[in-house]
Structure formats: C-alpha cells, structure tokens
Structure 1
Amino acid sequence: MARHSKADGRTVYTVVPRQEVKPGAHRVEDDKVPLAHRVSAIVVAAGVAAGTAAIANAATSGSSTELAAGAAELGALPDQQAKTITTVHDVNPGSQVGRLLQFQQMYAQQTFQQATKVAADAHAQREAAAKAEAERQIEMRKPAKQREVEAWIKDAIKILQANGTNIDNGSIDEIYTIIMKESNGNPNAVNNWDSNAMRGTPSKGLMQCIDPTFRAYKLAGYDNILAPVDNIIAGVRYTYARYGGFHNHPGLVNMNLGGGYLGY
C-alpha cells in the first residue's frame, strides 16, 4: 500500500497487489545482509566439510567415536551422542573457525612427527645393521685361533663383570696380547724352565699363572687352572689386584714405550 498527496490536500491510498511466490522462484538477497550472518554461513560450510572429513577418516580407521563425531558435524546425530565435537551453531563463529584451523595444524604436526620418527628409526636400524655387518667382516678376517682365544676372553669378561670386576670388552686386545706373549694361545702350556719352575710352581695355562696365584684369585666354580676361561679370570683378577689394571701391566707398558714384552 502507498500513500500519495494531491494538490488539493486530499490523500489517496493505492493498494499494490501482493505477488505470489511461484515454485522454483528465487528471492534476491539484500546486499546489506549482516556480516555475522555471512560468517555464520561460511562456518557452517566449513563444519560440513570437517564433518565429512571426519566421517571419511573414521570409515577408513574403524573408529566409531570419530564416525559419530563426524556425523554430528553434519547434523545427523544429537550433540550428546558425539561429545568430542561441538556443532557450529553452539559456538561463536570466529572461535569455531579458529578451532578447525587449530585442529588441522595439530593433525599436520602429529603426522609430521610420526613420519620423522619412522624415518629416524629406519635410519638407526640401517646404521646398526651396517655396524654389525662391519664387525662381522672384521671378525671373519681374523685367524681362527685369534677368534677362539677372543671368544674365551669375552666369556671370562662376562663372568668377571657379574662378580664385581670393572672390566668390559675394551680390554680384549690387552688380554689377548698378554695371552699370546705368555703362552701363544695354548691353554695347556706349562713353563718348566723359569724361576717359578725351579721353586716347584711352574706357570700354567693361557696367562701362565702359578698354582698359588691361581688359587688366590680364581672364582668359585672356576677351579681348573688349565681351563681357558678359568685361567683368564684368575690372571685378570691378579693383574687388577697387583697393578690396578692393564694400564700398569709391566709387559704392556714396556711395549707401549717401544720395548719388548716383560713377564708379570
């Protein structure tokens, strides 16, 4: 209805017929639609996209909770059935967009961290395998006799460690040198010509222990002076007791100075 004024002072009312909205017709939106309404529409669309992604992810991962949450984003389930997701219409549009962006950032960071860990683990495994193979190759190049003697030394070191001796495989070369100089790696070697033999106590075994020394430094259960591991145990414990370790062993010290091996 419109009102018009005539020149003579009369007021005339004109009735404009109401237009019916036909099916399929579209209403033109006012260009001055409030900004909040537009942002809300964008957020709803983002929520639909996020819900769709959540459903797709849950479908592949088999997570019923994520599937329910994704459905809630699409409006398929009540909020109370998808407690991990807050629907768009319950929160401020700006904060909802921020939450979605934060979720995507966290997901990307987690994925990157997982990929980095997998790569690091794979690299560490390759390095460990390469190191083990290099050590195996070194061992295979050693003479059979050396591998046999070093196996006895390693067994003795494990027993010594278990019984309180501060020693590790870093001492293998030192013990091996002593053994080769003292007995040439023969566990049955007996010295019948030196001063100890003259006194009736010949040196015996790999590290050439005399009987009194062996009895003083052996470990219980390792009582055979001619048994390789037993002899090494006693020889090492004697070296630690008398010299404080291999760094003061007279034979090794003299060799390090450029001289020959000296008995201990």
Structure 2
Amino acid sequence: MDMDNSETKIRCVVVDDELHARQSICRQIEKNCPNFEVIQTASSAAEAYQVIKECSPDLVFLDIQMPNETGLEFLDRFEGRKFFVVFCTTYHEYAVEALRKRAFDYLLKPVDEEDLVACAKRITEKLLIARGENTTEGPGGRRIELVTSGQRYFIRHSEILYVEASGSYSTFYLETGKRITVSKNLKRIEQMLQDPVFHRAHNSFLVRLASVQSYNHRNGTLQLQNGKEVPIAVRKRDAVRQRLVELMIEGREASELPMVAEEVPSMG
C-alpha cells in the first residue's frame, strides 16, 4: 500500500470548537499523512453538519466536548453514514461510547504522532479494500521480505507473533518458534508491514493483535499465544484495547483471537 499515491487521497473534515485544536490536527495531518487532504474545518456541530452534507468527506476528525451538541450526539444525525469518524478528545472515558457509535478510532489530545500515523494507515487500507484497489495480497496471504546474513526470508504476516526492537535492530518472533533479526528499526518495520492488524503497543514492541490471548489491564500487558507477555505503554492502553475490540467485532482472523471475556477490561 502506497501512502503517497495521489489516487488514494482521503478527503477529511476537522471539527473542533477550539481554533488551536483545529490548527494542531491540521498541521499533524499535513506533516504525517501525505494521502490525507483536509478539505474543510468546522467549529461547531451545526457548522459541521452543513460542511459534511456539502462536501461528502471520507473521514471526519471529531471533537467530543463541544458547546450545544457533543460529538457523540452529533453522529446521531447521520443514519447509515458513509464516512469514517476519528474522535480527538482529552477525555479517555468516552472510548466505549465512541465504539458504540462505530467510530473508527479514538485519539487522545494532544494527538500522538505515531497513533495518528497508525490510524491513517488503517483507514487507508480500509478504503483501498472498499475501492477494490488493495493489491498487496498474494497466494497464502500478505508477506514481508526479510534479508539477514545473506539470506532472504519471505514471511507471511499471519506467521508473525510480534517484533521486538533493540536499537537499530528488530527481531521477528514467529509462530514456529523461529527468530529472525534484521538491521532495521521498528518504525521501518511498521512501514514495511503496512498492516492494520499489527499494533505498536510499546516503543519496543510491535504486536500482531490476532496472536493476543489475553489483556491484563491491571499490570498493562498482553499475553501472546506463545506465553510471551508484552508490556503496553500507559498512553497506548486505550488504543490497544479498542483495536482488540474492533478485531472481535469485525471478525478479522477470529479463529486466531480466542480472547477470554473475563480477561478483557470491563467495558461497562
């Protein structure tokens, strides 16, 4: 998937009642999301409604706490909406309600650059699939080419449990128990994979969420199917939990995601 392909431009609207917040997210989108185009901004739900009706965007970045009408209430105006919604808010307690409103993602302010980039990749992937433009699938599923010690490995994404970084090196841990270390940092590995089922749970760990067996919200770790416990950065815990819930809802790789209900944080 080419994030710079102009043919895959994603038309965005940014909605926030605070000018500096609108300007901040617009700057971040321009800097980090080359295939995103902010076509309009709005400072209230009323203004946003008119903008969305007139512009028909692909994606709306939406604040939750706004005067007169919250972002959550605002979405009720759109039955069968055809645009993606990403909430941007300082209030993490709205995450569950955002999921119920079928939000694609939930970003905490100030928006973290890595979280925004990961969100952008997943939305781009979804739109490419919807448009029939996703050409990254091959026989047996998507693969990544790894070169190390003069050897080339062609590894299916579904074989990877997680990737652990150590400085400028990254080690792939596979379902077979095999390890492959390459001289690339974790950010570069993310770019090579370009797969929304992988999530940066921690600065040192990139996890294929379909390999997660349980989420321990008390100590902030993920237990993988090989018994490995991966730490989750405090700032990323809500995002990781949301992605796990989304995977269950979507049924993506459902047979590989045997999460036990009582081990997931209470959603009530």
Q: Same fold (TM over 0.5)?
A: no
With normalisation by structure 1, the TM-score equals 0.23
Query: Which is strand-richer, 1 or 2?
Result: 2
Of structures 1 and 2, the one with the larger relative CO (CA 8 A, separation 6+) is 2
Query: Which is helix-richer, 1 or 2?
Result: 1
